[in-house]
């Protein structure tokens, strides 16, 4: 295993301990609102601090992009950059709904090379290294092999703030719901991508995500035989935040459903 992946795992597990401990006492959580429907707790911050501490100790010169502390004082242009979501699924966490995860990715010159998504509720550790495959608790994982959309279970994320694309979203949803076996909105994008990587869902799409939601999970999918793209099927999803993923056949069928609904503002 690559040493950077080992360190990312150590950091994710450390954050998992903090989150698990806090989940026993969610009534005491202090919640602040960043913007409409965008919450942060002291647990997000404590988990992020712990992650950054572990990563920095091992790799002091690597850049960092983390949800709660931004670039964390590191240069934006370093060759290596950790991309961190300390608690993906904060709204679930606040409600005691056990569907959230820690996501840590490492990019080299903008290309994802290592990824960890850790689900502290199920103690499930998803890992991937570029060219080395993807694993769930050290067992090799593959995307689902289903090719028919009418048999496919598709994950998504509903818009919940800044509703400028809600009509396009609902139009895509309406088409997709009628062509697939079912739609799910579990509520933690990084974990959604991990679940596509291990075949629990056949595909996933969401718009307006942030790089820390996608970084590790996208590598999990590509390393488990799937494809990830933006709404045009291109690789710009870390910039636009619009993501589609699945095995190659499902991926292209999802893109076909999305294509007619791409508006002037929702190009990719």
Per CB under 6 A, does 63 bind ligand IPD?
no
Q: How far apart are CA 49 and CA 93, in angstroms?
A: 18
Contacted by 188, from Ca ion, ligand IPD, none: CB < 5 to 8 Å by type: ligand IPD
Backbone φ, ψ for residue 105 (5° rounding): -120, 155
Q: Is the dihedral of CA 52, 53, 55, 61 positive or negative?
A: positive
Residue 101 CB, nearest approach to ligand IPD (Å):
9
CB proximity list for 241: less than 8 A, separation 6 or greater: 207, 208, 209, 210, 211, 213, 214
Tracing tokens 């608690």 back to the chain, one arrives at: 87
Contacted by 68, from Ca ion, ligand IPD, none: CB < 5 to 8 Å by type: none
Token representation of residue 55 = 């990563």
Residue 138 CB, nearest approach to ligand IPD (Å):
25
Q: Please list, residue by residue across 202-217, b when 16 or more beta carbons sit within 10 angstroms of its beta carbon and e when fewer do.
A: bbbbbbbbebbbbbbb
Of residues 187 and 246, the one with the C-beta less far from Ca ion: 187
Q: Which of 42, 21, 24 has the alpha carbon at shortest distance from 86? A: 42
Of residues 47 and 146, the one with the C-beta less far from ligand IPD: 47
Per CB under 6 A, does 90 bind ligand IPD?
yes
| Beta bridge partners of residue 70, listed in sequence order | 66
Per CB under 6 A, does 223 bind ligand IPD?
no
Residues that bind Ca ion (CB under 5 A): 67, 85, 87-88, 213
Q: How far apart are CA 159 and CA 91, in angstroms?
A: 13
Of residues 162 and 248, the one with the C-beta less far from ligand IPD: 162
Among 48, 88, 119, 202, binds ligand IPD (CB under 6 A): 88
Among 120, 187, 245, 246, binds ligand IPD (CB under 6 A): 187
Q: Which helix (H) or strand (E) is 40 found in, with range?
A: strand 38-41
Of residues 29 and 58, the one with the C-beta less far from ligand IPD: 29
Contacted by 159, from ligand IPD, Ca ion, none: CB < 5 to 8 Å by type: none
Q: Which of 59, 158, 143 has the alpha carbon at shortest distance from 104? A: 59
Token representation of residue 80 = 């290596």
User: Between 153 and 172, how does the x/- string for binding to ligand IPD read (CB under 6 A)?
Assistant: ----x---------------
Residue 54 CB, nearest approach to Ca ion (Å):
18
Point out which residues bind ligand IPD (CB under 6 A): 85, 88-91, 157, 187-189, 206, 209, 213
């Amino acid at each position: 295993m690559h040493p950077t992946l080992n360190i990312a795992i150590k950091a994710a597990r450390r954050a998992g301990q903090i989150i698990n401990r806090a989940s026993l006492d969610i009534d005491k959580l202090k919640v602040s609102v960043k913007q409409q429907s965008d919450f942060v707790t002291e647990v997000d911050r404590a988990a992020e601090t712990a992650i950054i501490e572990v990563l920095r100790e091992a790799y002091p010169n690597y850049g960092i992009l983390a949800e709660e502390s931004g670039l964390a004082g590191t240069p934006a242009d370093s060759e290596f950059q950790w991309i961190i979501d300390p608690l993906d699924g904060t709204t679930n966490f606040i409600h005691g709904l056990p569907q959230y995860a820690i996501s840590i990715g490492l990019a080299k010159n903008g290309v994802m090379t290592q990824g960890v998504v850790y689900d502290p509720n199920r103690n499930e550790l998803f890992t991937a290294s570029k060219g080395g495959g993807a694993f769930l608790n050290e067992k090799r994982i593959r995307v689902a092999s289903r090719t028919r959309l009418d048999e496919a279970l598709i994950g998504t994320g509903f818009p919940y703030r800044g509703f400028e694309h809600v009509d396009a979203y609902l139009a895509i949803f309406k088409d997709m719901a009628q062509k697939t076996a079912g739609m799910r909105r579990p509520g933690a994008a990084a974990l959604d991508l991990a679940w596509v990587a291990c075949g629990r869902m056949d595909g996933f799409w969401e718009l307006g995500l942030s790089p820390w939601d996608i970084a590790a999970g996208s590598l999990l999918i590509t390393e488990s035989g799937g494809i990830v793209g933006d709404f045009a099927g291109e690789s710009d999803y870390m910039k636009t935040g619009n993501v589609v993923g699945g095995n190659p056949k499902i991926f292209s069928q999802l893109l076909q459903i999305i294509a007619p609904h791409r508006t002037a503002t929702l190009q990719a």
